[in-house]
Amino acid sequence: MNDVTVAVEDTTPTVDDVMVELHGVHKSFGPLEVLRGVDLQVHVGEVTVILGPSGSGKSTLLRTINHLEKVNRGWISIDGELIGYRRSGSKLHELKEKDVLKQRTHIGFVFQNFNLFPHLTVLDNLVEAPVSALRRPRKAAEETARGLLDRVGLADKADAYPRQLSGGQQQRVAIARALALEPKVLLFDEPTSALDPELVGEVLDVIKDLAGTGTTMIVVTHEIGFAREVADTVVFMDGGVVVEQGPPAAVLDDPQHERTRAFLSKVL
């Protein structure tokens, strides 16, 4: 056990409408300090886009939110609940694996490479987790799944296998699959980076639609146009810290930090 000691009062989420909160998050791999004190608040129903150079810690940040990586210092909460820990007296104790898995069911994750189950049909990809993790009756899960496939424009692909779909279609299935668990927050790690350019738009359109329905999302992407159009907040990360953040117009058009300007001049 590597329980961390943090005074309990320091782990209280700041305001009611914060869905995701990171407080002083540090993460190292051996001697390499990848996250060096990240503070972040994502409000309910908002879209936060994270930009930053390769190696700046964006994927690690998403993975700590999902507790795929344990933080070395600091804490993360979702909807007021600490991720990976429980409070006891003046200490935090690590949750058991099954309790972590339970927390993870509330956090949707969409990966760069889709990560669909290749041996399952599209419908079964969507039904698997609700049935096994949430103990939903199969019939109800199928009904929900068909509704979600319709929502991402793939109602006619329910019986197809992932290999029969284009990359853009596979990623739309992956998004529907994440939604099937009714997550409190959806995390996207460069959801369009593995796609041929002509398939990027259809995936961004699906994410844009979700933004319109009030889904809380954190999207790591290099698609600046998407950030400008869809983000409520743009966060620029470099070297394991948040360099600056704010509304898209502020960060993208009037960046205050040289590092942000240098990055944007390369990607714009």
What are residue 78's DSSP bridge partners?
20, 81
- Determine, following the binding rule CB under 6 A, whether residue 34 of this chain makes contact with ligand ADP: yes
Nearer to ligand ADP, 29 or 140 (CB): 29
> Rg for the chain (alpha carbons), in Å?
19
Kindly indicate which of the ranges 41-49, 52-60, 170-178, 203-211 contains the residues binding Mg ion, using the contact rule CB under 5 A: 52-60
What are residue 50's DSSP bridge partners?
220, 235
Q: Which among Mg ion, ligand ADP, none contacts residue 82 (Cβ within 5 to 8 A by kind)? A: none
Q: Which among Mg ion, ligand ADP, none contacts residue 57 (Cβ within 5 to 8 A by kind)? A: ligand ADP
Helix, strand, or coil (residue 185):
strand
Report 141-170 residues binding Mg ion (CB under 5 A).
none
**Binder among 10, 12, 17, 29 for ligand ADP (CB under 6 A):** 29
**Binder among 41, 48, 59, 215 for Mg ion (CB under 5 A):** 59
Alpha helices of 133-237 — where are they, by DSSP H? 138-151, 167-179, 197-212, 224-230
Report 237-266 residues binding ligand ADP (CB under 6 A).
none
- Determine, following the binding rule CB under 6 A, whether residue 191 of this chain makes contact with ligand ADP: no
Residue whose Cβ sits closest to Mg ion: 59
- What is the per-residue burial (b if ≥16 Cβ within 10 Å, else e) of 205-219? ebbeebbeeebbbbb
Q: What gap in Å lies between CA 249 and CA 268, rounded to an integer?
A: 14
Q: What gap in Å lies between CA 108 and CA 216, rounded to an integer?
A: 10
Q: What gap in Å lies between CA 54 and CA 44, rounded to an integer?
A: 28
Q: Which letter does DSSP use for residue 56 in this model? A: S
Q: Is 137 exposed, middle or buried (0-12, 13-18, 19+ CB in 10 A)?
A: exposed
Nearer to ligand ADP, 32 or 268 (CB): 32
Kindly indicate which of the ranges 33-41, 55-63, 131-139, 245-253 contains the residues binding Mg ion, using the contact rule CB under 5 A: 55-63
Report 44-83 residues binding ligand ADP (CB under 6 A).
52, 54-60
Kindly indicate which of the ranges 29-37, 148-156, 209-217, 252-260 contains the residues binding ligand ADP, using the contact rule CB under 6 A: 29-37
CB of 35 to Mg ion, least distance (A): 13
Nearer to ligand ADP, 142 or 238 (CB): 238
For residue 30, give both structure tokens.
């051996």
Q: Which letter does DSSP use for residue 39 in this model? A: E
Q: Which residues bind Mg ion (CB under 5 A)?
A: 58-59
Q: Which residues bind ligand ADP (CB under 6 A)?
A: 29, 32, 34, 52, 54-60
